């Protein structure tokens, strides 16, 4: 990504793809990185990162109980999901990063919940790659290595 910020992301400025962009993605489709919104946004605040579709199931890593959500956002919200959402909202407001399992009663760090589909993640630093092909796992691992902190890839479409 280029060091200087420019108008290349939605909702602000970001970092446009640099000359080595192709070494970070699995495949570079036509028009990428030539789209207007093809840059990387940087988020530096407590944020819940979610895939934006197909939430699938949420599973407690302690008891293994898997709870489905239909993804319609119009039906009743299962109890595990309510607890997770409430905890994530509380974390954004400065609270602890854990939710208690509705079934076994054990606390679970928000980033330790298991996801049936694309995972969610909470963090105080995030990078949004707009209109980007899938990132190479080696690139994601290198980012984590340079940060000296675990990273989680959250993929989705909005
Ligand atoms: Zn549990």
Q: Burial letters for 94-116: b for 16+ Cβ neighbours within 10 Å, e otherwise?
A: eeebbbebbeeeeebebeebebe
**pLDDT tens over the chain, length 158 residues:** 899 999 988 888 999 988 888 899 987 666 565 677 889 999 999 999 988 776 678 999 999 999 887 666 677 777 888 899 999 999 999 999 999 999 999 999 999 999 988 889 999 999 999 988 889 999 999 999 999 999 999 988 76
pTM of the full predicted structure? 0.84
Q: How far is the CA of 84 from the centre of ligand 1 (A)?
A: 12
Q: How far is the CA of 54 from the centre of ligand 1 (A)?
A: 22
In the chain, where the domains are located: 5-44+125-147, 48-115
């Amino acid at each position: 990504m280029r060091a200087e910020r420019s108008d290349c992301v939605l909702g602000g400025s970001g970092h446009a793809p640099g000359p080595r962009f192709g070494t970070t993605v699995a495949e570079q489709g036509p028009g990428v990185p030539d789209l207007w919104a093809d840059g990387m946004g940087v988020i530096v605040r407590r944020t819940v990162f979610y895939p934006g579709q197909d939430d699938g199931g949420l599973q407690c890593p302690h008891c293994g109980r898997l709870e489905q959500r239909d993804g319609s956002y119009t039906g009743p919200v299962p109890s595990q999901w309510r607890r997770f959402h409430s905890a994530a909202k509380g974390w954004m407001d400065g609270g602890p990063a854990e939710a208690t399992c509705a079934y076994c009663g054990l606390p679970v760090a928000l980033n330790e919940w298991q996801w049936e589909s694309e995972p969610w993640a909470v963090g105080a630093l995030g990078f949004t790659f707009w209109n980007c092909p899938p990132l190479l796992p080696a690139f994601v691992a290198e980012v984590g290595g340079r940060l000296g902190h675990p990273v989680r890839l959250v993929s989705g479409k909005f």
